[in-house]
Structure 1
Amino acid sequence: METSHPRASTPARAGDPDRHLERQRPRARTRARHLRRGSLSLLAVGLLISGCSSASSSTDVVMDELPRATPKELASYYGQKLRWRGCGVPGFQCATMKAPLDYDKPDAGDVKLAVSRKRATGGSKAGTEAGAKAEGRLGSLLVNPGGPGGSAVGYLQSFAALGYPEKVRARYDMVAVDPRGVARSEPVTCLDDREMSAYTQTDTTPDDRRETGQLAASYKKFAAGCEKRSGKLLGHVSTVEAARDMDILRAALGDKKLTYVGASYGTFLGATYAGLFPDRVGRLVLDGAMDPSLPARRMNRDQTAGFETAFQSFAKDCVRQPDCPLGTKNAADAGKRLKGFFADLDRAPLSVGDTGPADGRKLGEALATTGVIAAMYDETSWPQLRDALAAAMKDKDGSMLLALSDSYYERDGDGSYSNLMFANTAVNCLDLPPSFTSPEDVRKALPDFEKASPVFGEGLAWSALNCTYWPTKATGKPHRIEAEGADPIMVVGTTRDPATPYRWAKALAAQLTSARLLTYEGDGHTAYGRGSRCVDETINTYLLTGRAPKNAKRCT
């Protein structure tokens, strides 16, 4: 989910990102982190207009590709040699890559980006299993888990380099770069840990003018903190700039074309790369696709509807269980019960026991909503959510729901936060003009959001107010990406995906001239590596041989 609530950690910005990487082993995070855009993510990266065709576009503006010749003022960046070294994680190498802070003014300074890789494991068996004719190394496979704000380096080291199929790892060097402003790459910072804890508890369903003012003040404080701590960087963390950084990395790795797997927001990053450099597109997998043609408000509303779809699936499963804390009647009744529970927490937050530093936290409506939404990303989390709701609703113990919320915000047991939500907001607010211009604007839109989701609509609408107070004006706008001339691109959509609604995948596939749409009929966020043999074999064959389905393909 993309929330307007960032979290506050204050990671060190000074020094070599690789040395910072050596000090901190990657935190293992849930798949719920794949996407956050514009608001509560897009829940922000965090959030469509109902009745709109899934393949339709809201704009006729098409992204222009960049000149194919490397500008002379960027030659030194494209010609740099990466100095690989150990980084404290067995089997991995790390390096620092330089990119211009401002591509329009390359002499205005650099940003240092943290890069990590795990070399191809080798072996011929892996290649022939997928029908590959050639054995040996195929090049580099760049991975990005989404966000915006998710650490690609952490994802690589904690999951991808071991979790991807052995036959893929045998043929590719697995590579990741933390995008500018993220984790180890000069991270955006906004609040300290205490301030962030307070921010995550801010009431996002204001009942009156006073509470509305408190919510607006919270967003303003967050924005002011970002400007104070990361001012120069805030205007240069856009997705376009991150995509251009990836092309420098491609050149530094010695690859003629980019091979890439991006999940969630990572699909927007990958599609942007294709739009800018269609002639350098190799094998691109865009899993849990986003639609770049949508304005922020429509995107937020679409995601709101997506979480409602996911909740309905959860509720239908829950009411079949004799001990479902939301009752055993039907999904509609379960939704009403959950909404009532949130209202109770708004009036009287629950105790959470010993959850870390003595910061006085309780489980209020905001944290409980985040906890429920976090569990929507993966259906394997449903049993945990049922237990957490039972503990909170029956035993008045909010600790389990709080733990789900903390995992979403990447809050550790010592009370520290990663910079995920800081970077998330910074990227989202730069990529698109804000969803709303004022609190009054939100109030007018509430019926539309509540129609999209009776359970989450109100809170997600107010969460989209965060970019209204952002100190840096948006540099991006809605646009279509066609990438004329690119090699076949695999676009993947899940029919009941909560965070990237399936219609987005259909829309992106309709825009990209060389797209092949792969549909997974199922629940959860993204499809690759989630248990569908059909999905995995299709993507693995594409990565290893370049063969994509000639027509749209559906998997279960």
Structure 2
Amino acid sequence: MPNPPRMRAAALTATALLVSALLAGCSDDDSGDEDLTAQELNWKDCPAPSQAQGGGGSPSPLPDDGTWQCATMKAPRDWDDPKGDTIDIELIRVRTSSEENRRIGSLIFNFGGPGGSGVTSLPSFADGFAKLRTRYDLVSFDPRGVGRSEPVRCENDQQLDAYFQQDATPDDADERTELMDSAKEFNAACEKNSEGMLPHVTTTEAARDLDLMRQVLGDDKLHYFGISYGTELGGVYAHLFPRNVGRAVFDAVVDPTTDPEQNALAQAAGFQLALDNFAEDCTSKTEGCPIGDTPQDVKDRIAKLLKGLDSKPIQGIFPRELTQTTATSGILQALYSKSFWEYLAQGLVQAYDGDGSALMRLADASTGRRENGEYSNIVPANVAINCADDKPRYTAEDVERRLPEFRAASNLFGDSLAWSMLSCTDWAVAGAADHPEVGAPGSAPILVVGNTGDPATPYEGARKMVQALGKGVGVEMTYKGQGHGAYNSKNKCVQDAVNGYLLDGKVPAAGTVCS
């Protein structure tokens, strides 16, 4: 994809950056206009997801007949003008499975992206959070600019097909010009088609929506589970409203101290580590590895495949071809979870035989494309939120100057992640800050869980988040595992610690290690 987006959960990840000026003078006072905090939500059966949310059918009841309900919350379009125009924020919930007297409150999830629809994600993952539902209503939402919450819109489906197949790693001046022109066209389409939302999708404003949500749901404290970019949103919330933080968990932790360039470089190393682990795992199996005899052989063959696709694509999903860019996207998507490794191996075997359909399906998952050719708005929302948050604007010369360092971090993924830094070049709205402010003195403890094998939010980010939250706030826990996140690995040690905190208020000892 030209100018691939820096996605924190569904594709490539990077740190969203916030404006310190907007944070100055903020306090723990209740958010927003009195009329908005007094609004009553009209919960009803959830409709089928919109195209922007990803399409499909309405969420099915849970095994115990727990039913999904959706509602729309009004929030200020511009939090600097809280009595001005409002926008709609779409929410979803399932009530607690236990008696009301055991209910703690609402547990609000953000699954990352930025740009992912919480309204569609929560039903998909709810089985994994059944234990938490014994004492909480499980709640999620589409952040502003996402899904049914005033979605950012850019190019149409046909244009996006072409956009994601173009060469994202230019080898000469002509290819570089094509990349830059394509990005400029995409960004101009976002400005034209998003009905003035681009200045109002910052993480700071989303954090203010969270506090309004807390009040409208009737909770004295915000109980929160943030994953990937959701950890950054949670950190910004804790900074703005430290005394309103209840029990909070950050999993797959974004480093709040890095700028987009530093984060992209860390990801290059993180995805390379994941690829190394995948190759080692494949070749260690007694039945043999179908894509190479040694870990280095596996990586060499993948490199040869990608190099060949740069000049000669193969058949993907008709009528699209698998290009170097789409193959790279598919490989990166598969490295997000160890459970996808077998599909990556199968996809590579097929690609070596000239069939790129499996790798293309993985790439489609990262860009929100359904089989019918329709795209969700995860990529437009991701780019818009990143660019509203990120102050730096990079040039092609900046990228070329740093390419050797990116290639040293990963000869397979370095170029792609380096060129992704151009995502916000020529964006219509100025970025807010170099990095988010997450210092939260006075907050309740926040459990911060880092995964040593996480490719998208490298492990070091957890420690940086703990330090940035401040003394006595962040409680660091380590999971020695693979993939993006820890709780969803189903590791008993991790889940017992997280459940013990959220359900019973038992804070794990700082430095707890699970493997």
Q: Normalized against structure 1, the TM-score is what?
A: 0.85
Shift of 1:529: 2.9
Whether 1:428 aligns to 2:399 is no
Looking at structure 2, the residues matched to 528 and 476 of structure 1 have their Cα atoms a distance apart, in angstroms, of 31
1:68 equivalent in structure 2: 28
Looking at structure 2, the residues matched to 338 and 289 of structure 1 have their Cα atoms a distance apart, in angstroms, of 29
Q: Normalized against structure 2, the TM-score is what?
A: 0.91
Deviations along 1:495-517, whole A, 9 cap, x unmatched? 01000000001110122121111
1:297-376 aligned at under 5 Å gives the runs 297-321=261-285, 324-331=289-296, 333-352=297-316, 355=317, 360-376=319-335
1:333-482 aligned at under 5 Å gives the runs 333-352=297-316, 355=317, 360-393=319-352, 395-434=353-392, 436=394, 438-482=395-439
* 1:74–1:106 contact (8 Å) kept in structure 2: yes
Equivalent AA in structure 2 for residue 507 of structure 1: K
Whether 1:552 aligns to 2:511 is yes
Q: CA RMSD in A?
A: 2.3
Looking at structure 2, the residues matched to 149 and 102 of structure 1 have their Cα atoms a distance apart, in angstroms, of 19
Secondary structure of the structure 1 residue equivalent to 2:247: strand
1:143 equivalent in structure 2: 109
1:37-48 aligned at under 5 Å gives the runs 41-42=12-13, 44=14
1:524 equivalent in structure 2: 483
Looking at structure 2, the residues matched to 60 and 115 of structure 1 have their Cα atoms a distance apart, in angstroms, of 28
Shift in alpha-carbon separation, 1:367–1:66, aligned structure 2, 3 A? same
Deviations along 1:199-227, whole A, 9 cap, x unmatched? 11110111110000011111111101100
Deviations along 1:219-264, whole A, 9 cap, x unmatched? 1111011000015100000111001000000000110000010110
Whether 1:502 aligns to 2:459 is yes
Equivalent AA in structure 2 for residue 112 of structure 1: D
2:73 equivalent in structure 1: 97
Shift in alpha-carbon separation, 1:481–1:149, aligned structure 2, 3 A? same
Equivalent AA in structure 2 for residue 428 of structure 1: N
Secondary structure of the structure 2 residue equivalent to 1:370: helix
* 2:41–2:71 contact (8 Å) kept in structure 1: yes
Unaligned segments of structure 2, at least 5 residues = 48-58, 62-66
Unaligned segments of structure 1, at least 5 residues = 8-32, 48-58, 125-134
* 2:2–2:163 contact (8 Å) kept in structure 1: no
* 1:434–1:465 contact (8 Å) kept in structure 2: no
1:280 equivalent in structure 2: 244
Of 75, 85, 88, 1:109 maps to 85
Shift of 1:136: 1.2
Looking at structure 2, the residues matched to 254 and 502 of structure 1 have their Cα atoms a distance apart, in angstroms, of 35
2:183 equivalent in structure 1: 219
1:200 equivalent in structure 2: 164
Shift in alpha-carbon separation, 1:207–1:529, aligned structure 2, 3 A? closer
Looking at structure 1, the residues matched to 302 and 39 of structure 2 have their Cα atoms a distance apart, in angstroms, of 55
Secondary structure of the structure 1 residue equivalent to 2:153: coil
* 1:102–1:108 contact (8 Å) kept in structure 2: yes
Secondary structure of the structure 2 residue equivalent to 1:465: helix
Shift of 1:106: 2.3
* 1:94–1:114 contact (8 Å) kept in structure 2: yes
2:56 equivalent in structure 1: none
Shift in alpha-carbon separation, 1:449–1:155, aligned structure 2, 3 A? same
Looking at structure 1, the residues matched to 361 and 30 of structure 2 have their Cα atoms a distance apart, in angstroms, of 48
* 2:231–2:254 contact (8 Å) kept in structure 1: yes
* 1:6–1:420 contact (8 Å) kept in structure 2: no
Looking at structure 1, the residues matched to 99 and 8 of structure 2 have their Cα atoms a distance apart, in angstroms, of 31
Q: Percent identity?
A: 42
Shift in alpha-carbon separation, 1:3–1:490, aligned structure 2, 3 A? farther
Looking at structure 2, the residues matched to 6 and 450 of structure 1 have their Cα atoms a distance apart, in angstroms, of 19
Equivalent AA in structure 2 for residue 313 of structure 1: N
Whether 1:83 aligns to 2:42 is yes
* 2:207–2:233 contact (8 Å) kept in structure 1: yes
Secondary structure of the structure 2 residue equivalent to 1:368: helix
**More divergent stretch after superposition (143-152 vs 85-94):** 85-94
1:148-167 aligned at under 5 Å gives the runs 148-160=114-126, 162-166=127-131
